[in-house]
Amino acid sequence: MRVAIFSATGYERSFLDAANARHGHELIYFEPALRRNTARLAAGFPAVCGFVHDDFSAGVMLELQRQKTRLIALRCAGFNNVDVEAAEQLGMTVLRVPAYSPAAVAEHTVALLLALNRKIHRAYLRVREGNFALDGLLGFELAGKTVGIIGTGKIGLGVGRILVGFGCTLLGYDPHPGAAFTAAGGRYVPLDDLFAQADILSLHLPLTPDTRHLIDAEALGRMKRGVVLLNTSRGELLDTRAVIAALKSGKVGLLGLDVYEEETNLFFRNLSDTVIQDDVFARLLTFPNVLITSHQAFFTEEALSRIAETTMENLTQFEEGNIVAENEVRASQHFHG
Ligand code: NAD
């Protein structure tokens, strides 16, 4: 099948080409992200392949459908950038990679936590400058601390398992509790209790209209003073302005982010020669107790290899009329991972 691959980066191509060796699809790589003004690149392609910042809103998909595209193949798990209802109305199939490497994201979440807590990001710079003083680098031990996981699916469970290994007490909140979380030593509690008890709070739930700004001023008000907040899921789960206020007041002690509400205009690009226009993001960068990575939690060799393999399998299975139900995104699912 001819596939238009948007937001194609150099590092992804080798993985996609290698995975395609068994499938023989015709992969055409386009560096730009899919937008209204780039959709024309996909004219005549039956399949369009995109990533987290490609725009699959109703207008763009109507354009794609007019150009004869029938399949949207996402190279990611999340699909909050896809208007699934519109896709269904237009008769387009949407496939994704539901689980490629939960360990990649779980390990990155813990990396943020450890770096923040032991001030590794600050120590790295200081030592390079010949500053070996310890003031400002005081950390605390994770052993004995209470960790609250919101969303105990694949990634949340992975984070929980690692932190139990560090000697943490594990609490969870999820509308669909899982036996594996309890077996790992976790205990489910109501969300309010989790807010009240957690020393470290980590978000691993999907972004939906219901979960947008789950962490707002009110939720922050119910947390412990000095709470460590980690978000490697989706930026809009946090009300960033409220979090900035909580950082200023000391309510939030440490903040680790791999995602940001307005990341589409920033992440995955080298903007080092430009002036950052986003004042909220710029403010976040000024805090010594905030560590931000640019949506790289998924970015491991293992994950890229699995994403490529599942994407190629999705394309082949669509061609053969043999779709794996778990990989298909349907409007009735009502969540946006
Ligand atoms: P998953 O589907 O296995 O788990 C999500 C869990 O969240 C489920 O158990 C679900 O019941 C729960 N949930 C749904 N609504 C909830 C709510 N209102 N409150 C609490 N829990 C709720 O998904 P996963 O693979 O663990 O991924 C979790 C999130 O990680 C995804 O939604 C995605 O946004 C994000 N992600 C980020 C990266 C990255 O590179 N930063 C990569 C992959 C996934």
Residues 158-193: pLDDT tens digits? Answer: 999 999 999 999 999 999 999 999 999 999 999 999
Give the ligand 1 atom nearest the CA of 298.
40
CB 119 within 8 A of CB 140: no
10 pLDDT higher than 60: yes
Stretch 250-260: mean pLDDT, rounded? 98
CB 87 within 8 A of CB 328: no
At residue 128 the predicted structure's pLDDT band, cuts being 50, 70 and 90, is: very high
CB 156 within 8 A of CB 136: no
Give the ligand 1 atom nearest the CA of 76.
43
Distance CA 174, CA 190 (A): 9
- 18 C-alpha vs ligand 1 centroid, how far in Å? 29
Distance CA 53, CA 1 (A): 23
Average pLDDT, the chain: 96
Stretch 251-257: mean pLDDT, rounded? 98
**Does residue 295 carry a catalytic annotation?**
yes
| pLDDT for 336 | 42
Pocket of ligand 1 (CB under 6 A): 77-78, 99, 102, 105, 150-156, 173-176, 204-207, 211, 232-234, 258-259, 295, 297-298, 337
Residues 98-110: pLDDT tens digits? Answer: 988 999 999 999 9
Q: Pairing relation of β-strands 146-150 and 200-203?
A: parallel
Distance CA 30, CA 9 (A): 9
- 21 C-alpha vs ligand 1 centroid, how far in Å? 32
Residue in 76, 96, 204 to alter for ligand 1 test, most ligand atoms within 8 A of Cβ? 204
| pLDDT for 78 | 86
Distance CA 172, CA 157 (A): 9
Minimum CA distance residue for ligand 1 atom 2: 153
**Does residue 263 carry a catalytic annotation?**
yes
At residue 337 the predicted structure's pLDDT band, cuts being 50, 70 and 90, is: very low
SS3 13: helix
- 105 C-alpha vs ligand 1 centroid, how far in Å? 11
- 275 C-alpha vs ligand 1 centroid, how far in Å? 33
| pLDDT for 333 | 65
Alpha helices in 120-153 (DSSP H): 120-128
Distance CA 258, CA 270 (A): 16
156 pLDDT higher than 90: yes
Minimum CA distance residue for ligand 1 atom 18: 211
Set 53, 161, 204, 295: catalytic member: 295
Stretch 20-41: mean pLDDT, rounded? 97
Distance CA 174, CA 191 (A): 8
Distance CA 75, CA 49 (A): 7
The lowest-confidence range among 72-81, 125-134, 325-334 is 325-334
- 185 C-alpha vs ligand 1 centroid, how far in Å? 20
For the entire predicted model, the pTM comes to 0.91
Residue in 12, 109, 213, 233 to alter for ligand 1 test, most ligand atoms within 8 A of Cβ? 233
Set 263, 306, 313, 336: catalytic member: 263
At residue 108, what are phi and psi to the nearest 5 degrees? -65, -35
Cβ-defined contacts of 177-181 (< 8 Å, 24+)? 177/152, 178/152, 178/153, 181/149, 181/152, 181/156, 181/157
The DSSP code for 56 is: B
Give the ligand 1 atom nearest the CA of 156.
26
Distance CA 257, CA 181 (A): 23
Distance CA 56, CA 94 (A): 10
Minimum CA distance residue for ligand 1 atom 28: 204
268 pLDDT higher than 80: yes
Residues 300-335: pLDDT tens digits? Answer: 999 999 999 999 999 999 999 999 999 999 987 654
Q: What share of the chain is helix, strand, coil (3-state, %, to 5)?
A: 40, 15, 45
| pLDDT for 335 | 47
Minimum CA distance residue for ligand 1 atom 34: 233
Set 234, 236, 313, 336: catalytic member: 234
Q: Which residues pair with 231 in a beta bridge?
A: 203, 257
* Residue 317 burial (C-beta neighbours within 10 Å; 0-12, 13-18, 19+): middle
